[in-house]
Amino acid sequence: MTSSVASHAPMSEYQWAYSLVDSSRVSTFLISILLIVYGSFRSLNMEQEAKQKQNERNGQNQESNVQTLDTLQALCLPLGASISLLIMFFFFDSMQVLFAICTAIIATIALAFLLLPMCQYIIRPCSDGTKISFGICGRFTAGELVSFSLSITIVCIWVLTGHWILMDAMGMGLCVAFIAFVRLPSLKVSTLLLTGLLIYDVFWVFFSSYIFNANVMVKVATRPADNPVGIVAKQFHLGGMVREAPKLSLPGKLVFPSMHNNGHFSMLGLGDIVMPGLLLCFVLRYDAYKKSLLSSAETGVPPPNQLNKISYFHCSLIGYFLGLLTATVSAEVFKAAQPALLYLVPFTLLPLFVMAYLKGDLRRMWSEPFITSPPSKHVEV
């Protein structure tokens, strides 16, 4: 919430406009878009590397860690998210230590994945890429060990300090890992998933207070958890550590405090980055697939016209920016939490549908976009 200053009466009328260029809002816009772009290209790179390895092994499929959602999973995901939200709402006090520990473990792995390319680039002159065996734990490269060690260090410092920058770093890792390892196979599954999550977001933000006498989404997102270090210290009667261990705000959102307005911060849930990010990752993969078809001489695809030069990824990314901008304006105008997916889903899906229809790709993208149909053999007389 943005606090108004009484001595600046003329500014208060247009306070929402000034808040759009606040450092917290600008940071939210930049970081969310960068995470989607980076996660999408990371996923595309992983897919291309997997295809290259498959070709080197003469077409033999290898085990993949990527999870592709089907129609049933897309329909059940909003229901599962609602159940998880209710569990955290009703049983948070008794399960908060478990939530904090599980979050720390998952965030450690995700953050290591985020830091891996940077660590590989830094130690490339000192390492030849050979894997080191750790028995039953597996084999790891030097870059993977460095990224995992750095990730553990960041999470441990977060547990001891509870600093928002470290929490945001963990949240960024979760976003990139989810976008990279979860894929949408078609526009049909994407539409079902995002529509269900839009209904989920709207219900728990706008209507949950009428049933549960509290805004369930906001309360769960902003509720801090007891520090496991403090609880352990209390069990062993270490009073000094109890006073120093802060409460932990779990990394289910990105938080950016304002540099110019003390006490004001901008908050965006990770789901508002990840779920539209899955759609943008899908269209980026489809853009790459179409490009590979156009570059193949056997397909007989005609040269692209002006409309075909505009990629689906850029169209959806612009839609995401406009949707996030609309959600931000709504939050400032109404001075209340807004379900971001209410704005993000229409602004990303509708332009995508229009462009796919105009390009003639809608039918293919809807059902089986990545299956190459064999060229028809016609004999001209």
**Arithmetic mean of pLDDT, 329-351:** 90
Q: Which ranges of 123-257 does DSSP label H, i.e. alpha helix? A: 142-161, 164-181, 187-202, 208-212, 216-222, 228-235, 239-244
**Arithmetic mean of pLDDT, 283-300:** 78
Choice between 10 and 221, residue whose per-residue pLDDT is larger: 221
- What is the number of alpha carbons within 13 Å of residue 221 lying toward its C-beta? 22
Whole-number mean pLDDT of the chain?
A: 84
Is residue 22 among the annotated active site residues? no
Q: Are 193 and 71 in contact (CB under 8 A)?
A: no
Predicted confidence (pLDDT) at residue 319 exceeds the cutoff of 90: yes
Choice between 357 and 2, residue whose per-residue pLDDT is larger: 357
Predicted confidence (pLDDT) at residue 381 exceeds the cutoff of 80: no
Rounded CA separation 166/74 (Å): 31
- Catalytic residue, from 22, 93, 226, 272: name it: 272
Rounded CA separation 48/64 (Å): 13
- Catalytic residue, from 22, 93, 201, 361: name it: 201
Question: Alpha carbon of 119 to those of 102, 125, 126, 150: distances in Å?
Answer: 25, 11, 11, 9
- What is the number of alpha carbons within 13 Å of residue 133 lying toward its C-beta? 2
Rounded CA separation 114/2 (Å): 32
Phi/psi region, residue 267 (left: phi>0; alpha: psi -120 to 50; beta: rest), is beta
Predicted confidence (pLDDT) at residue 124 exceeds the cutoff of 80: yes
Predicted confidence (pLDDT) at residue 59 exceeds the cutoff of 70: no
Rounded CA separation 171/165 (Å): 10
* Count of beta carbons in the 10 Å neighbourhood of residue 7: 6
* Count of beta carbons in the 10 Å neighbourhood of residue 313: 23
Report residue 258's pLDDT band, with 50, 70 and 90 as the boundaries.
confident
The pLDDT, as a whole number, for residue 10 is 45
Q: Are 254 and 168 in contact (CB under 8 A)?
A: yes
Predicted confidence (pLDDT) at residue 3 exceeds the cutoff of 60: no
Of the ranges 29-33, 45-49, 157-161, 238-242, the best mean pLDDT one = 29-33
The pLDDT, as a whole number, for residue 8 is 42
Beta strands in 38-138 (DSSP E): 67-68, 132-133
What's the first-to-final CA gap in the chain, in angstroms?
Answer: 73
Rounded CA separation 325/343 (Å): 9
Buried b (16+ CB within 10 A) or exposed e, 365-380: bbeebeeeeeeeeeee
The pLDDT, as a whole number, for residue 303 is 56
Report residue 9's pLDDT band, with 50, 70 and 90 as the boundaries.
very low
Report residue 15's pLDDT band, with 50, 70 and 90 as the boundaries.
low
pLDDT per position as a tens digit, 62-89: 667 889 999 999 999 999 999 999 999 9
Helices (H) and strands (E) in the chain, counts: 15, 6
Look at residues 82, 89, 312 and name the one whose alpha carbon lies nearest to residue 190. 312
Q: Are 194 and 276 in contact (CB under 8 A)?
A: yes
| Residue whose token pair is 């006498």 | 213
Choice between 268 and 245, residue whose per-residue pLDDT is larger: 268
Rounded CA separation 175/282 (Å): 15
Q: Where are the domains of the chain?
A: 20-58+74-367
Percent with pLDDT over 90 in the chain: 48
pLDDT per position as a tens digit, 159-217: 888 889 999 999 999 999 999 999 999 999 999 999 999 999 999 999 999 999 988 99
For every residue of 236-277, DSSP letters joined together read TT-HHHHHH---B--SSEEEEE-SSSTT-EEEEETHHHHHHH
Predicted confidence (pLDDT) at residue 280 exceeds the cutoff of 90: yes
Look at residues 265, 246, 247 and name the one whose alpha carbon lies nearest to residue 256. 265
Is residue 201 among the annotated active site residues? yes
The pLDDT, as a whole number, for residue 202 is 94
Rounded CA separation 132/146 (Å): 12
Percent with pLDDT over 70 in the chain: 85
Of the ranges 130-144, 346-360, 365-379, the best mean pLDDT one = 346-360
Report residue 378's pLDDT band, with 50, 70 and 90 as the boundaries.
very low
